[in-house]
Amino acid sequence: MISYSMENSMKNLHTLLELADAVIITDADHRIIAVNHAYETITGHSSKSIIGKKAGILRTPYTPKETYAEMKEALSQGASWSGVFTNYKRNHELWNSSITITPFVCDNTTYYVGVFRELEQLQRGHYLDEGRVGNIQSSLLKVLAISCEIRDPGIESHLSSVQQMTEWLVVRHNQRVATDLSEEALAHIAHSSILHDIGKSGIPEGILYKPGPLASYERTIIEMHTQIGLDIVDKIFRELDDELFKKELNIAKNIILHHHEKWDGSGYPHRLQGENIPLEARIVSVVDVFDALISKRPYKEKWSIEKAIHYLVEQKSIHFDPEVVDSFVTLYEEGTLSPPES
């Protein structure tokens, strides 16, 4: 918090209005007492029309509530704050801006000076906050997965179930064994899990939905779905070359290619063993098998959750990473898991 004598401080505050960036000055109640020409130009609000109104007049539902909470907390302690807002212009268009708000004390009265930088005018172009990026990534990957496996009318339920349980499991496993994964990495794994069986779109239906046992050559064809899936996402994203999906793509590739590897090295396609199997693939492996067991399939009746959990525990250190299974079991013990609808 910066304090000046009344005369000098008010002079310095109004000098800030000469900045090229948009500037807004409010009183302690966050009522607008001055804005500069850049602010008027960007927002479409004239000084005459906006002075005396609350600064929240520009607020939209697209700025996360956490952003406002962080701002209020910092300002309440007399500290400056920087962040990103998505606000409305006078014509109701959206504008994204980086803002720094600094408290100034003038003769025991607090004023707040906000300096905005319009992100649309920066070289990188439009700004997307992390929440909106996450929603876009998740939605597009879900559409892609369902579109590629549309032959199966029940696939959307399975994919959504795998994605939801993966989200629960990665968070729990991260907490339980301290894997130190960031929230962003946890979200990437959950989003990408929905693509795990995308390669089955290239498997003949007669083999994919065969109600009886598979012949050895049919089993070999089924196992090709991991490499087919890898080829599909490579082709789809080769043209995209977008930072928005780069991390997601790398994780998706690991999940698609390795979610049928086994802890003891007897899985496919590369017979990886133990921690040589990417963590994201080990996590999706447990979820995928569990959901398959508790779901009705052409070749089997659905199992009870209790029976499926018992199988996962039996397969610790054989099929599955024992620590991942233990994390999954805690979800069962607290009642988080529920059977799919018939």
Instruction: List the domains of the chain with CATH numbers.
Output: 2-121 (3.30.450.20), 130-333 (1.10.3210.10)
Question: Using one digit for the tens of pLDDT, what is the confidence trace for 138-174?
Answer: 555 554 554 445 445 556 677 788 989 999 999 999 9
Closest CA to 252 of 221, 271, 229: 229
| Residue 186, Ramachandran bin (φ over 0: left; ψ between -120 and 50: alpha; else beta) | alpha
Token pair recorded at residue 136? 């876009």
Cis peptide upstream of residue 339 (ω within 30 degrees of 0): no
What is the pTM assigned to this prediction? Answer: 0.59
Helix axes 322-333, 305-314, angle to 10 degrees: 160
Contact 327, 201 (CB under 8 A): no
CA angle 20, 94, 101 (to 5 degrees): 45
Closest CA to 296 of 342, 233, 243, 250: 342
Question: Using one digit for the tens of pLDDT, what is the confidence trace for 119-143?
Answer: 755 444 444 455 544 554 555 555 4
Taking the C-alpha atoms of residue 283 and residue 279, their distance in angstroms, rounded to an integer, is 6
pLDDT of residue 60: 85
Question: Using one digit for the tens of pLDDT, what is the confidence trace for 60-74?
Answer: 888 888 888 899 998
Taking the C-alpha atoms of residue 173 and residue 179, their distance in angstroms, rounded to an integer, is 8
